[in-house]
Copies of this chain bind each other. A is one copy, B any other.
């Protein structure tokens, strides 16, 4: 059982990989270091040797994933800027919002949204990471992008609107199952399409740009 996954990539890398998979699947408290080291084919003591404790390992895993998300979002905004420099607000919002539903479409990454909300709380082990590596940089980038296409809007107003959009996205993703019992989502083939269209249009009107009066 120890000899599983014998890629010669080193114990540290194997631990990191297994930890990422397990933490993202079951959360910080849902995974024991024994599970991680067993999956990585090493000893329990290895985590303390390489990472100086379970918490540090979790923070390293989470920081990596948060940075991936942030990089992905900034890249999407940049691509829009370069490939569609004349994009209007609707196109920007649509691309931005859709990217979240694509990012969090798998059950594994859906769990990540739960971890993010959990880590916003007062007992969190990594609340600083959520703010500095995710919310702040993305919020600012989107705000900036919106202002370039709607320069007449108030900066603070746009900041609030970005939060409104983020809140909607996260809520629709997190509450998907609970919501399915309200609406006829028996065949939720078009859940993503419908939801993205709704959030885009709702927010477009909500922002109240004069471009779309």
Q: Which chain B residues lie closer than 8 Å to A199 at the CB level?
A: 164
Contact between B111 and A121, CB atoms less than 8 A apart: yes
Contact between B198 and A202, CB atoms less than 8 A apart: no
Q: How many copies does the complex hold?
A: 2
Closest residue to A168 on the B side, CB-wise? B167
Q: A163 contacts which of B117, B166, B179 (Cβ < 8 Å)? A: B179
A203 within 8 A of B: yes
Q: A175 contacts which of B120, B172, B178, B198 (Cβ < 8 Å)? A: B120
Q: Tally chain A residues at the interface, Cβ within 8 Å.
A: 51
Q: Which chain B residues lie closer than 8 Å to A166 at the CB level?
A: 171, 175
Among A122, A171, A195, the most chain B Cβ lie within 10 Å of the Cβ of A171
A118 within 8 A of B: yes
Q: Identify whether the interface residues of A are mostly helix, strand, loop, or mixed.
A: helix
Interface string of A106-120 (1 = CB under 8 A from B): 010001001001101
A27 within 8 A of B: yes
Contact between A198 and B164, CB atoms less than 8 A apart: yes
A22 within 8 A of B: no
Q: A29 contacts which of B29, B114, B160, B202 (Cβ < 8 Å)? A: B29
Known: A120-B114, A121-B114, A198-B164. Is A183-B156 also a contact (CB below 8 A)? yes
Cβ-closest 3 pairs across A and B:
A167-B171, A202-B206, A131-B178
Question: Can you name 26 A-B residue pairings with CB atoms under 8 Å?
Answer: A26-B123, A30-B123, A107-B122, A111-B121, A111-B122, A114-B117, A114-B118, A114-B121, A117-B117, A117-B118, A118-B118, A120-B175, A127-B177, A135-B178, A140-B182, A157-B198, A159-B182, A159-B183, A160-B198, A161-B202, A163-B175, A164-B171, A167-B168, A167-B169, A168-B168, A205-B208
A residues whose Cβ falls under 8 Å from a Cβ of B: 26-27, 29-30, 107, 111, 114, 117-118, 120-123, 127, 130-131, 135-136, 139-140, 156-157, 159-161, 163-164, 166-172, 174-175, 177-179, 181-183, 195, 198-199, 202-203, 205-208
